[in-house]
Amino acid sequence: MSKIRPSKGAPYARILGVGGYRPTRVVPNEVILETIDSSDEWIRSRSGIQTRHWANDEETVAAMSIEASGKAIADAGISAEQIGGVIVSTVSHFKQTPAVATEIADKLGTDKAAAFDISAGCAGFGYGLTLAKGMIVEGSAEYVLVIGVERLSDLTDLEDRATAFLFGDGAGAVVVGPSQEPAIGPTVWGSEGDKSETIKQTVAWNEYDSSTDKFPAITQEGQAVFRWAVFEMAKVAQQALDAAGISPDELDVFIPHQANERIIDSMVKTLKLPEHVTVARDVRTTGNTSAASIPLAMERLLATGEAKSGDTALVIGFGAGLVYAATVVTLP
């Protein structure tokens, strides 16, 4: 018989607060057209994107995360000292070590919170949310900060007609804490590594030669990614609804990864979501911010009143890896 005492965590976990930060510089499609042969109409029709935000030198991964996190902590009504864990999902923090989460935890004023980074691309927020839920239920932390943050402008090839218009910068954060009732459903997540070449960094850091190579950038096989996202991720989204015991009619809000508005529209159609379901379309003015896209979209929907506290939302992220994560949550 084991002598280890059982955990004394909360019975359930929930999102208690959300915050976002978008860089001050707004970049319209006209700027993108300076380096690629395309048109504003083509970009809008293929992606839905009209503008995106690009960070300046001061708007670092850490700085944007701290701004978004401060808002989330205030929204949750707690203090930074109560945060027991900081999870940062990003692919655009260029230092392999130390984790940027440790810097963020310190500058926010946490009391030596556990802090670590994860790399799960556009599914990173869902991965972080699942880890936070486990920490709270297990009892290793009472409150956990989950951050999705990217400076994808640093990894964008502005001469690549297929991707130059897609990416933006920003940070989104949520505070996850204890709950007496289920408010974060089971996560349906996974990976399809046999498709990893469809979204990738062009040159590995240890192979990059500044004298001959372009700076590493993100590239993708657009049609392959589109087909996978539309057909396979709709199945995953349905599995998340089933796992939570929620029917499409009971859903209030749909917050998919803001990759492309055509993908979003196709998923809505495939899932047969009722017209009353509010659909996040933050991609139009924020672009694809990878791990930051879901919390940023969530924050905007709540700020504009398109969604409200207590609404039931389906969230799903998917991207490089190829990886995915979907769950149903109660909005803070």
53 is catalytic: no
Q: What is the pLDDT of residues 247-280, one digit of tens each?
A: 999 999 999 999 999 999 999 999 999 999 999 9
Q: Choosing from 29, 53, 93, 257, which is the catalytic residue?
A: 257
Burial string for 35-73 (b: 16+ CB within 10 Å, else e) reads: ebebeeeebeebbbbbbbbbbeeebbbbbbbbbbbbbbb
For residue 152, cis peptide bond before it (omega within 30 degrees of 0)? no
Q: Which of 174, 167, 231 is nearest to 201 (CA)?
A: 167
- 75-101 mean pLDDT: 97
Contact 241/248 with Cβ under 8 angstroms?
Answer: yes
Q: Which residue in 122, 206, 260, 276 is the catalytic one?
A: 122
For the segment 98-111, the average pLDDT, to the nearest whole number, is 98
> Where do the H-state alpha helices sit in 22-99?
29-32, 40-47, 61-76
Give the residue-averaged pLDDT of 1-18.
Answer: 90
Structure tokens at 248: 């499409």
pLDDT per position as a tens digit, 201-218: 999 988 988 888 899 999
How far apart CA 86 and CA 309 sit, in angstroms, is 24
H or E element in which residue 268 lies: helix 261-271
Q: State the sign of the Cα–Cα–Cα–Cα dihedral 188, 194, 196, 198.
A: negative
Percent of the residues in the chain that have a pLDDT greater than 70, as a whole number: 100
- Answer yes or no: 93 catalytic: no
In tens, the pLDDT along 236-250 reads 999 999 999 999 999
Please indicate whether residue 257 is annotated as part of the active site.
yes
From CA 110, how far away is CA 201, in angstroms rounded?
A: 34
